[in-house]
């Protein structure tokens, strides 16, 4: 079989391929007929009843072309008789409104049809946002002179940009763009997106099947080898609950080997030898078996047997590999061989093949994109380069912009905007302030009117502003002039500068400053006298700043009463002892400061201040506190099942946490940390994320605890906070430890260690291991590629390899030595949700049939090479 089925375009384009079926719901579908005049839009394509619209509102450039009509092209459907070509500019981009986080089948189609009379194959690059998708080479062999590029991809924002990039002398062109939303729990991958190789069903025919028979508008092409025999049924085959829903015309046909003693073999090629592939196999028993007949066969890929399988009677089932498969030399072999007890040959109804494609470059920060597009719209800027992502790839960045591009995983930020001599009119738009990291703004030599806006003074990153050569009225706002003292360089016309000398004002400022300084000295002296006298009056009290929160405050006698005089100990830590107590008949946990605790009050104050102002379902709630002399206590909500570490080590007794429960705990913990990072104002770093600080409630819900070391971190242009190292050995971010640079990624590293604990059941530091540190141990075990040796043996292999490999890869990415390469907690929580979805879908499949070999997912254990620690 060929690597790419170039003639798939034939399936999408020709007239005599599908009988008409009544229209179904096209909600979420986007079908663009590229080059279609707006006065002919919309229309319903008569064979599929798909509604196509013109692309004029989705693209800024390009011209309309018409394919040359011939005996062959006369059969082509309406969406392919016109096209859009791009003689101007290097990058031309379609901008489509989509639903963020949605899984789409995205299809682009290119039918050349000698529209320009040059009879020359167009060659150009196709981009998805800032990432290259494919180098397109449109052949010129008649009706087959087209290409289809199709991927399954999850959108990262609410705008999807598809760009055509000129790479040589030929002109980029495109015929149609189609987007079809898919169920989120289908076509899952460990990483990356899926690039279509083929959707095949087995029939000796030219009957192409797509929408409306396929509700997702997958294009199924018939395929049958000489050594296969086609079988079919007219009986009903019930659909699968897993969401793949093969069309009836696909699932009611199948192929078996003509020689019933031979295996069913299927080979395909990948474009590159190191490509990874996913296989989706569709099965249904479509023959009525006699009591003495058995159909059972082994499924093997590249010579390795993964499962023995029997198709279900007249019921669709979809098997797939949850982890990507690599093929030696890029040549893949699927083989179905009947088992000794089977007297019927193997059967296959349909197959889908994909290769993995990575889109690693992050899009520019969405707030920056929205701001710059608002500016573009305000000033009606028609610069041809202002298409696609503003910052990346760098060679296509918008003229007049400078961007801060740190690495591929960090969204770029716009830091300079130069619109000088651009013919701008009107006022300076407020949307500029949404470029929150902007350092330089040059709007000089235009025809701008209105006043110099005061909001610019609030843009703390601004270093240079140039408004010279405009028609601005009034004076520069005082708040902006004050910024000049901090180093802001402000260039305005003379008529915008305040009248009069700045010297009297400077003298006044000096006098006021001197008066304030004198007053400050007096106040400081008085405060020192007060403190000195207070220290002498009592040797028992410790000098410290007082807490200003008066609500939820308890006396020490009330603390003794609620704990029955500190009767039941729940645990001990560096802060002190935690006691069990009751408050208004509700259980509470009371943490009492030890007299020997170092810096105890500082941590105590930090925790109270934080928990009194933040509230999240995955953060332990503070019921109250005691601050009475040296007697300090924190009263928390009671978490019935203690901490996570106890359950991993078996100290709590009872049953071991199962894989689903562990994933739910990691998700909830990640959401708690995410809230600290992006939900708090200012954002917070926990600094002591570890398994003993993750507590479990009555329903095993997870909550993050112990905020005594938490620190706020700055946002904006600063990338870190310099602070003394604090935390727990084994969980400490090595970059933070070496440089004293604290960022939210320090928590990500610690969480990665917790994730390794949950996956492996291992202690973070265990001297009896060859590799005492869990990170070194995990790296050495991963190199063997055996997931069973890594997973916690207490799980007794009750997990699936797809979600466990994905979770392990995520843990390794969290503990990347370089903090900028680590994911943020939003992405961590999202990927853990995907791990749980993979596992839960497997459990559903197991429960929906009595066949213990129902899913290929059940048995595949190491279908791919070792995951990389990205």
The pLDDT tens digits of the residues spanning 242-293 come to: 889 999 999 999 999 999 999 999 999 999 999 999 999 999 999 999 999 9
How high is the mean pLDDT of the chain?
83
Given the DSSP bridges, would you call strands 30-33 and 51-54 parallel, antiparallel or unpaired? Answer: parallel
Higher pLDDT, 484 or 281: 281
pLDDT at residue 22, rounded to an integer: 38
pTM of the model: 0.61
Sequence-distant (≥ 6) Cβ neighbours of residue 693 within 8 angstroms: 643, 686, 704, 705, 706
Mark whether 786 is an active-site residue: no
pLDDT at residue 539, rounded to an integer: 34
- Kindly state whether residues 178 and 303 are assigned to the same domain: no
Please give the average per-residue pLDDT across 319-324, as a whole number.
Answer: 90
pLDDT at residue 716, rounded to an integer: 40
- Kindly state whether residues 60 and 27 are assigned to the same domain: yes
**Annotated binding site: which residue ranges?**
591
pLDDT at residue 512, rounded to an integer: 39
In a domain, 735, yes or no: yes
* pLDDT confidence band for 408 (50 / 70 / 90): confident
Residue where one domain finishes, among candidates 638, 658, 684:
638
Sequence-distant (≥ 6) Cβ neighbours of residue 535 within 8 angstroms: 543
Q: Is the pLDDT of residue 597 over 70?
A: no
* pLDDT confidence band for 600 (50 / 70 / 90): low
- Kindly state whether residues 648 and 626 are assigned to the same domain: no
Q: Is 572 left (phi over 0), alpha (psi -120 to 50) or beta?
A: beta
In a domain, 198, yes or no: no
Residue where one domain finishes, among candidates 622, 638, 654:
638
pLDDT at residue 620, rounded to an integer: 87
**Alpha helix stretches (DSSP H) within 268-408:** 366-378
pLDDT at residue 83, rounded to an integer: 96
Structural domain for 667, as ranges: 642-859
- Kindly state whether residues 614 and 676 are assigned to the same domain: no
- How far apart CA 549 and CA 559 sit, in angstroms, is 18
- Kindly state whether residues 485 and 617 are assigned to the same domain: no
Q: What CATH number does the domain containing 673 carry?
A: 1.10.510.10
* pLDDT confidence band for 518 (50 / 70 / 90): very low
Higher pLDDT, 841 or 36: 36
762-778 tens-digit pLDDT: 999 988 888 889 999 99
- CA nearest to 733, candidates 717, 751, 760: 751
Q: What CATH number does the domain containing 613 carry?
A: 3.30.200.20
Q: Is the pLDDT of residue 705 over 80?
A: yes
Higher pLDDT, 796 or 785: 796
Residue where one domain finishes, among candidates 609, 638, 667:
638
Sequence-distant (≥ 6) Cβ neighbours of residue 634 within 8 angstroms: 590, 591, 604, 607, 608, 622, 625, 626
- Kindly state whether residues 425 and 394 are assigned to the same domain: yes
Q: How many CB atoms lie within 10 A of CB 577?
A: 15
Please give the average per-residue pLDDT across 297-305, as a whole number.
Answer: 94
- Kindly state whether residues 351 and 379 are assigned to the same domain: no
* pLDDT confidence band for 322 (50 / 70 / 90): confident
- CA nearest to 82, candidates 50, 121, 54: 54
In a domain, 78, yes or no: yes
* pLDDT confidence band for 181 (50 / 70 / 90): very high
Total domains present in the chain: 5
Q: What CATH number does the domain containing 120 carry?
A: 2.60.120.260
**Alpha helix stretches (DSSP H) within 289-394:** 366-378
134-160 tens-digit pLDDT: 999 987 644 456 899 999 999 999 999
In a domain, 54, yes or no: yes
- Kindly state whether residues 299 and 432 are assigned to the same domain: no
Q: Is 187 left (phi over 0), alpha (psi -120 to 50) or beta?
A: left
pLDDT at residue 504, rounded to an integer: 35
In a domain, 745, yes or no: yes
Selected catalytic residue, list 242, 275, 389, 688: 688
Residue pair 318/289 in contact (Cβ under 8 Å)? The answer is no
- How far apart CA 563 and CA 580 sit, in angstroms, is 6
The tokens for 28 are 């979420």
- Kindly state whether residues 659 and 790 are assigned to the same domain: yes
C-beta pairs of 557-566 under 8 Å, 24+ apart in sequence: 558/626, 559/590, 559/592, 559/626, 559/631, 559/633, 559/635, 562/588, 562/590, 562/635, 563/590, 566/592
**Annotated binding site for ATP: which residue ranges?**
591
Residue pair 351/277 in contact (Cβ under 8 Å)? The answer is no
383-406 tens-digit pLDDT: 999 999 999 999 999 999 999 988
pLDDT at residue 373, rounded to an integer: 95
**Alpha helix stretches (DSSP H) within 157-206:** none
- Kindly state whether residues 649 and 625 are assigned to the same domain: no
416-463 tens-digit pLDDT: 999 999 999 999 999 999 999 999 999 999 999 999 999 999 998 999
pLDDT at residue 615, rounded to an integer: 74
In a domain, 530, yes or no: no
Higher pLDDT, 179 or 835: 179
* pLDDT confidence band for 218 (50 / 70 / 90): very high
- CA nearest to 43, candidates 54, 55, 51, 31: 51
Q: Is the pLDDT of residue 868 over 50?
A: no
Higher pLDDT, 570 or 174: 174
- How far apart CA 481 and CA 511 sit, in angstroms, is 19
pLDDT at residue 846, rounded to an integer: 63
Q: How many CB atoms lie within 10 A of CB 834?
A: 21
Q: What CATH number does the domain containing 474 carry?
A: 3.80.10.10
Sequence-distant (≥ 6) Cβ neighbours of residue 599 within 8 angstroms: none
* pLDDT confidence band for 653 (50 / 70 / 90): low
526-556 tens-digit pLDDT: 544 444 444 443 333 333 444 444 447 889 9
- Kindly state whether residues 717 and 849 are assigned to the same domain: yes
Q: Is 335 helix (H, G, I), strand (E, B) or coil?
A: strand
Higher pLDDT, 587 or 613: 587
Q: Is 789 helix (H, G, I), strand (E, B) or coil?
A: helix
pLDDT at residue 503, rounded to an integer: 37
817-832 tens-digit pLDDT: 888 889 998 889 989 9
Please give the average per-residue pLDDT across 40-61, as a whole number.
Answer: 94
- Kindly state whether residues 13 and 155 are assigned to the same domain: yes
Q: Is the pLDDT of residue 476 over 80?
A: yes
Q: What CATH number does the domain containing 284 carry?
A: 2.60.120
In a domain, 864, yes or no: no
Q: How many CB atoms lie within 10 A of CB 734?
A: 14
Task: Name the percent of the chain lying above pLDDT 90.
Answer: 55
In a domain, 283, yes or no: yes
Higher pLDDT, 373 or 734: 373
Residue pair 249/339 in contact (Cβ under 8 Å)? The answer is no
pLDDT at residue 455, rounded to an integer: 94
Burial 767-778 (b: 16+ CB within 10 A, else e): eeeeeeebbebb
- How far apart CA 681 and CA 20 sit, in angstroms, is 58
Q: Is the pLDDT of residue 19 over 80?
A: no
345-355 tens-digit pLDDT: 999 999 999 99
Q: Is the pLDDT of residue 295 over 70?
A: yes
- How far apart CA 714 and CA 265 sit, in angstroms, is 60
């Amino acid at each position: 079989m060929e690597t790419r089925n170039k003639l798939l375009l034939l399936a999408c384009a020709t007239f005599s391929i599908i009988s008409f079926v009544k229209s179904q719901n096209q909600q979420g579908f986007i079908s663009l007929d590229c080059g279609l005049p707006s006065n002919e839009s919309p229309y319903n394509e008569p064979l599929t009843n798909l509604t196509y619209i013109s692309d004029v509102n989705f693209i800024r450039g390009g011209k309309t072309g018409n394919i040359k009509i011939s005996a062959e092209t006369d059969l082509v459907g309406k969406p392919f008789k016109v096209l859009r070509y791009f003689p101007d500019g290097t990058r031309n981009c379609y901008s489509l409104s989509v639903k963020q986080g949605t899984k789409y089948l995205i299809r682009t189609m290119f039918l050349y049809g000698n529209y320009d009379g040059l009879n020359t194959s167009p060659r150009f690059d196709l981009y998805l946002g800032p990432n290259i998708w494919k180098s397109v080479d449109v052949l010129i062999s008649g009706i087959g002179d087209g290409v289809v590029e199709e991927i399954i991809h999850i959108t990262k924002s609410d705008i999807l940009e598809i760009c055509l990039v000129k790479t040589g002398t030929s002109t980029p062109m495109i015929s149609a763009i189609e987007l079809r939303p898919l169920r989120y729990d289908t076509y899952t991958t460990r990483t990356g997106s899926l690039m279509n190789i083929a959707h095949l069903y087995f029939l000796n025919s030219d009957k192409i099947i797509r929408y409306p028979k396929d509700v997702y508008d997958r294009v199924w092409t018939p395929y049958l080898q000489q050594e296969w025999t086609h079988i079919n049924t007219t009986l009903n085959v019930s659909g699968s609950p897993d969401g793949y829903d093969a069309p009836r015309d696909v699932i009611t046909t199948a192929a078996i080997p003509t020689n019933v003693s031979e295996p069913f073999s299927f080979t395909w090629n990948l474009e590159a030898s190191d490509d990874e592939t996913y296989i989706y196999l569709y099965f249904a028993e479509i023959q009525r078996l006699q009591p003495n007949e058995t159909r059972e066969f082994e499924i093997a890929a590249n010579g390795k047997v993964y499962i023995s399988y029997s198709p279900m009677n007249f019921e669709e089932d979809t098997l797939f590999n949850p982890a990507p498969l690599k093929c030696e030399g890029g040549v893949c072999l699927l083989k179905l061989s009947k088992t000794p007890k089977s007297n019927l040959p193997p059967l296959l109804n349909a197959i889908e093949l994909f290769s993995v494609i990575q889109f690693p470059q992050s899009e520019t920060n969405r707030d920056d994109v929205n701001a710059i597009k608002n500016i573009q719209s305000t000033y009606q800027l028609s610069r041809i380069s202002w298409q696609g992502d503003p910052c990346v790839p760098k060679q296509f960045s918008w003229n007049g912009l400078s961007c801060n591009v740190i690495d591929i995983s960090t969204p770029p930020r716009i830091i300079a905007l130069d619109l000088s001599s651009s013919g701008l009119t009107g006022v300076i738009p407020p949307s500029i302030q949404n470029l929150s990291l902007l350092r330089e703004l040059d709007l000089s030599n235009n025809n701008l009117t209105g006043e110099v806006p005061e909001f610019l003074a609030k843009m703390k990153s601004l270093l240079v502003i140039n408004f010279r050569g405009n028609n601005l009225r009034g004076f520069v706002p005082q708040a902006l002039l004050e910024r000049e003292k901090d180093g802001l360089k402000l260039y305005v016309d003379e008529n915008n500068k305040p009248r009069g000398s700045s010297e009297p004002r400077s003298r006044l400022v000096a006098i006021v400053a001197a008066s304030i300084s004198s007053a400050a000295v007096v106040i400081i002296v008085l405060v020192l006298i007060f403190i000195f006298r207070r220290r002498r009056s009592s040797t028992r009290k410790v000098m410290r700043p007082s807490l200003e929160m008066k609500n939820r405050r308890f006396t020490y006698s009330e603390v003794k009463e609620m704990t029955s005089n500190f009767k039941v100990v729940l645990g001990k830590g560096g802060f002190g002892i935690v006691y069990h107590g009751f408050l208004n008949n509700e259980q509470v946990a009371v943490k009492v400061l030890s007299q020997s605790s170092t810096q105890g009050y500082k941590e105590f104050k930090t925790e109270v201040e934080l928990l009194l102002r933040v509230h999240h379902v995955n953060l332990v709630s503070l019921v109250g506190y005691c601050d009475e002399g040296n007697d300090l206590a924190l009263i928390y909500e009671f978490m019935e099942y203690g901490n996570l570490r106890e359950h991993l080590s078996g100290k709590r007794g009872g049953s071991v946490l199962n894989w689903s429960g562990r994933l739910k705990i990691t998700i909830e913990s990640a959401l708690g940390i995410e809230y600290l990072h992006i939900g708090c104002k200012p954002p917070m770093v926990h600094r002591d994320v570890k398994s003993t600080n993750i507590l479990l409630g009555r329903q095993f819900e997870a909550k993050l605890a112990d905020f005594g070391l938490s620190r706020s971190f700055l946002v904006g242009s600063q990338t870190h906070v310099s602070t003394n190292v604090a935390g727990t050995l084994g969980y400490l971010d090595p970059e933070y430890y070496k440089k004293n640079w604290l960022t939210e990624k320090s928590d990500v590293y610690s969480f990665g260690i917790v994730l390794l604990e949950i996956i492996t059941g291992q202690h973070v530091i265990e001297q009896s291991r060859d590799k005492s540190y869990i990170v070194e141990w995990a790296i050495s075990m991963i190199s063997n590629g055996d997931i069973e040796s890594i997973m916690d043996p207490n799980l007794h292999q009750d997990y699936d390899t797809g979600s466990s490999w994905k979770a392990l890869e995520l843990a390794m990415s969290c503990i990347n030595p370089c903090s900028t390469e680590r994911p943020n907690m939003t992405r961590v929580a999202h990927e853990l949700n995907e791990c749980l979805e993979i596992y839960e879908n497997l459990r559903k499949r197991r429960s929906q049939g009595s066949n213990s070999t129902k899913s290929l997912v059940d048995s595949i254990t190491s279908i791919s090479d070792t995951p990389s620690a990205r």
